[in-house]
Chain A
């Protein structure tokens, strides 16, 4: 137990970071029924922007800049790549998402020259080292779960108690009827992408504090795992995504702690396949019946 303790700590922290990404997936899926394959890459871009801005600018400018840049990116992706395909079959939209992911990675490769960008000046305070019960870790490990839960509470409040939130719930229930009721679908979808990207940016700043560098492929794995978390928790459900992400983060780190690092990724996907086969609606998902 004493040996596993640092891994458990890490697991909670990684889980929180996955949760922030997973919310973006689950919200977009809830509304558009689309796996936003580009979301992991948006997360990676946020990391890159963080590396570039924190080295050049003071913190009170760079952090808002990271958030703003990521939000603009998410918004643009939706407008350019998904909106024209609103009436197209779902497969086309998914292909478009894969295309966007490919595009972002290649553009990032061009800009960075393919070299992983070192995190030279991580955000102070959260990158300080602390020691808890004999385990030495970075402050970010403690900050992440708290910040994640705080953000989720705010988000759930927004969704349950504001007009936009109500519109979102309506759109995710029934796209066409919501439109007939006078809800501006496009702005609701944009807001969804903005929230998702914002949370991904926060997640990226926390996540990359723990890593020495940001590579163009850094977003792929966390992105896929966050998606698995969203499925595990029941896609479309925000609390589900958060719980799923924490469980996956913990399991992964414990597996690493037991010495099976090679299989920590494989475990996540094995879990996905098992969940999909046994309980496709996930932990908190709603059951949907298919009509002919």
Chain B
């Protein structure tokens, strides 16, 4: 058996085992169990982290607008799927608020309630992604001409502008102003999240392994050289930006699904920073790393290190030290250590199949020289 085949089988086996584990969790545990919550939240973060990695890690465009695109996705998803019957209670401060139609009701009428709701949800998710992509195209026209840190600050600013617009009462009949949007349909189980996010991430992997993906990497490594090789810089940058935003929009929609209620306030720059730090922990330029880091991050913050916030940790009871906020403080120290001393993150730029690779050649050479 040659190496490529071995790698494919290994990757497929690992993914299958993980997926089976998730299905088993879903079948055996109730949907409010912390394990289900962790899987749901982590898949959402994984998708957004991978989308950010596509831009920051593979194309070398340092953008901090992820929260803005997630906001677009989250709002389109919830606005489009709130059932007609519940609009009066959701938009209680805006008379006749909400869109005059609802995807869940339209498709419910065509396919029957259960299937129709799911079809409506998926289409709303897709529209959220497309809207984010459209905004990315518009904002990219002026912004993508900027370089590294200017691009970062401009995209950050753009996300803040979006947030302000969504909280504006003038748009209230659609966005409900700064009030919560709720009562939209969600998936209770974790498996649908894993399937959607998994498919999206698979698409990103395919893209990265295509000619376009190689062009992105060339731009990251050396813009001038890439241009000399005949890569259209503006076009590829724009493409990467739009595609990344599309997936961030879908991730935002899933975030809305996971949270159950949505408002513009949580989509602030701190969310972007959090996702950026996840990408860094996983390794800039590694999809596997981003996914792994999302799961580690969410697992430890939601479950493993809970005790740090609530008095008892590892059997030590010290409410004076282990009080609210200690968990995040410990967390940020760990992140700083990774940023400063393990700059490559967990995976560096390696992917799952690379784990089968032999040890680097340099060590062998050293051993040979030693003999």
Using a CB–CB distance below 8 Å, which chain A residues touch chain B? 33-35, 80-81, 84-85, 88, 90-92, 94-96, 98-103, 105-107, 109-111, 113-114, 217, 220, 224, 227-228, 231, 262-263, 265-266, 268-270, 272-273, 276-277, 280, 292
Minimum distance in angstroms from B173 CB to a CB of chain A: 16
Interface stretch among B15-23, B73-81, B253-261, B325-333? B325-333
Measured between alpha carbons, how far is A81 from B150 in the docked complex, in Å? 21
Question: Using Cβ atoms and an 8 Å threshold, which residues of chain A touch B156?
Answer: 224, 269
State which residues 274-332 of B face A: CB under 8 Å: 274, 276-277, 280, 284, 323-326, 328-329, 331-332
Measured between alpha carbons, how far is A219 from B76 in the docked complex, in Å? 31
Minimum-distance CB pairs A-B, first 6: A269-B157, A110-B325, A266-B164, A103-B332, A106-B328, A109-B325
B150→A270 contact, CB < 8 A: no
State which residues 152-179 of B face A: CB under 8 Å: 152-154, 156-158, 160-161, 164-165, 167-169
Measured between alpha carbons, how far is A105 from B269 in the docked complex, in Å? 13
Partner of A107, one of B167, B280, B332: B332
Question: Using Cβ atoms and an 8 Å threshold, which residues of chain B touch A35?
Answer: 149, 152-153
30 contacts between A and B (CB under 8 A): A34-B149, A35-B149, A90-B149, A91-B62, A92-B343, A95-B276, A98-B277, A99-B277, A99-B336, A102-B273, A102-B274, A106-B325, A109-B324, A109-B329, A110-B324, A110-B326, A113-B325, A114-B325, A220-B268, A224-B153, A224-B160, A227-B153, A231-B150, A265-B160, A269-B156, A270-B157, A270-B161, A272-B157, A276-B142, A276-B154
A103→B335 contact, CB < 8 A: yes
A95→B153 contact, CB < 8 A: no
B332→A273 contact, CB < 8 A: no
Question: Using Cβ atoms and an 8 Å threshold, which residues of chain B touch A266?
Answer: 160-161, 164-165
Minimum distance in angstroms from A283 CB to a CB of chain B: 16
- Of B62, B325, B343, chain A has the most CB atoms within 10 Å of the CB of B325
Using a CB–CB distance below 8 Å, which chain B residues touch chain A? 56, 62, 142-143, 145-146, 148-150, 152-154, 156-158, 160-161, 164-165, 167-169, 224, 268-270, 273-274, 276-277, 280, 284, 323-326, 328-329, 331-333, 335-336, 339-340, 343
B148→A91 contact, CB < 8 A: yes
Given that A231-B153, A270-B161 are contacting pairs, would A277 and B276 also be in contact in the complex, using a CB cutoff of 8 Å?
no
Measured between alpha carbons, how far is A63 from B62 in the docked complex, in Å? 39
Partner of A98, one of B268, B273, B340: B273
Partner of A106, one of B154, B157, B332: B332
Closest residue to A35 on the B side, CB-wise? B149
Measured between alpha carbons, how far is A145 from B225 in the docked complex, in Å? 49
Question: Using Cβ atoms and an 8 Å threshold, which residues of chain B touch A98?
Answer: 273, 276-277
Minimum distance in angstroms from A279 CB to a CB of chain B: 12
Question: Using Cβ atoms and an 8 Å threshold, which residues of chain A touch B280?
Answer: 95, 99
Question: Using Cβ atoms and an 8 Å threshold, which residues of chain A touch B340?
Answer: 80-81, 84-85, 96
Question: Using Cβ atoms and an 8 Å threshold, which residues of chain B touch A34?
Answer: 149
A103→B333 contact, CB < 8 A: yes
Minimum distance in angstroms from B229 CB to a CB of chain A: 14
A280→B150 contact, CB < 8 A: yes
B224→A292 contact, CB < 8 A: yes
B324→A113 contact, CB < 8 A: yes
Partner of B157, one of A81, A102, A273: A273
Question: Using Cβ atoms and an 8 Å threshold, which residues of chain B touch A111?
Answer: 325
Question: Using Cβ atoms and an 8 Å threshold, which residues of chain A touch B333?
Answer: 103
Closest residue to B160 on the A side, CB-wise? A269
Question: Using Cβ atoms and an 8 Å threshold, which residues of chain B touch A100?
Answer: 336
Given that A106-B325, A220-B269, A266-B165 are contacting pairs, would A273 and B335 also be in contact in the complex, using a CB cutoff of 8 Å?
no
Question: Using Cβ atoms and an 8 Å threshold, which residues of chain A touch B268?
Answer: 220
Question: Using Cβ atoms and an 8 Å threshold, which residues of chain A touch B273?
Answer: 98, 101-102
Interface contacts beyond A110-B325, A277-B145: sample of 13 additional A-B pairs, CB < 8 Å, sorted by A:
A34-B149, A91-B284, A95-B280, A95-B339, A102-B270, A102-B335, A106-B325, A110-B328, A113-B324, A262-B167, A269-B158, A269-B161, A270-B161
Measured between alpha carbons, how far is A92 from B60 in the docked complex, in Å? 12
A94→B152 contact, CB < 8 A: yes
Measured between alpha carbons, how far is A227 from B157 in the docked complex, in Å? 11
Partner of A113, one of B148, B157, B323, B339: B323
Question: Using Cβ atoms and an 8 Å threshold, which residues of chain A touch B168?
Answer: 262-263
Question: Using Cβ atoms and an 8 Å threshold, which residues of chain A touch B224?
Answer: 292
Question: Using Cβ atoms and an 8 Å threshold, which residues of chain A touch B152?
Answer: 35, 94
Question: Using Cβ atoms and an 8 Å threshold, which residues of chain A touch B154?
Answer: 272-273, 276
Closest residue to B326 on the A side, CB-wise? A110
Measured between alpha carbons, how far is A99 from B146 in the docked complex, in Å? 23
Measured between alpha carbons, how far is A94 from B148 in the docked complex, in Å? 10
Question: Using Cβ atoms and an 8 Å threshold, which residues of chain B touch A33?
Answer: 149
Minimum distance in angstroms from A87 CB to a CB of chain B: 11
Question: Using Cβ atoms and an 8 Å threshold, which residues of chain A touch B277?
Answer: 95, 98-99, 102
Measured between alpha carbons, how far is A276 from B343 in the docked complex, in Å? 30
Measured between alpha carbons, how far is A128 from B332 in the docked complex, in Å? 40
Given that A91-B62, A109-B329, A273-B157 are contacting pairs, would A96 and B148 also be in contact in the complex, using a CB cutoff of 8 Å?
no
Question: Using Cβ atoms and an 8 Å threshold, which residues of chain B touch A276?
Answer: 142-143, 146, 150, 154
Partner of B336, one of A81, A91, A227, A273: A81
- Of B145, B146, B332, chain A has the most CB atoms within 10 Å of the CB of B332
Question: Using Cβ atoms and an 8 Å threshold, which residues of chain A touch B165?
Answer: 266
Measured between alpha carbons, how far is A111 from B145 in the docked complex, in Å? 42
Question: Using Cβ atoms and an 8 Å threshold, which residues of chain B touch A110?
Answer: 323-326, 328-329
Question: Using Cβ atoms and an 8 Å threshold, which residues of chain A touch B164?
Answer: 262-263, 265-266
